[in-house]
Amino acid sequence: MLRIHEETDGNGRIVLRLEGSLLSPWVPGLASLLAAMESEALVIDVASLVYADQQGEQLLRALDARVELRGCSSFLAELLRKRR
């Protein structure tokens, strides 16, 4: 299951905090949500993300190129770096 919490940080940027697992059934919905938001004012907090399947990983890799990914675990950081 993927839970998304929307917050605002001290700089007025929107922070989407992802919790749980980013699996293929939830990727299109998250991608649609993100497409509707301005990327320069967006931070994705992945500190509570415990797993991403291949489609989730692809989305995170695409996001990493255009928004700030905050709180990457060493596993997630290595996963994103490894397949670049």
Condensed to tens digits (0 to 9), the pLDDT of residues 42-61 reads 999 999 999 999 999 999 99
Cβ–Cβ contacts within 10 Å for residue 22, how many? 23
- Domain count along the chain: 1
CA distance 82 to 31: 22
Task: Identify the pLDDT of residue 83.
Answer: 54
Task: Find the CATH number of the domain harbouring 58.
Answer: 3.30.750.24
Average pLDDT of 3-11?
Answer: 93
Q: Which domain holds residue 36?
A: 2-82
Residue 83 dihedral angles phi and psi, to the nearest 5°: -100, 15
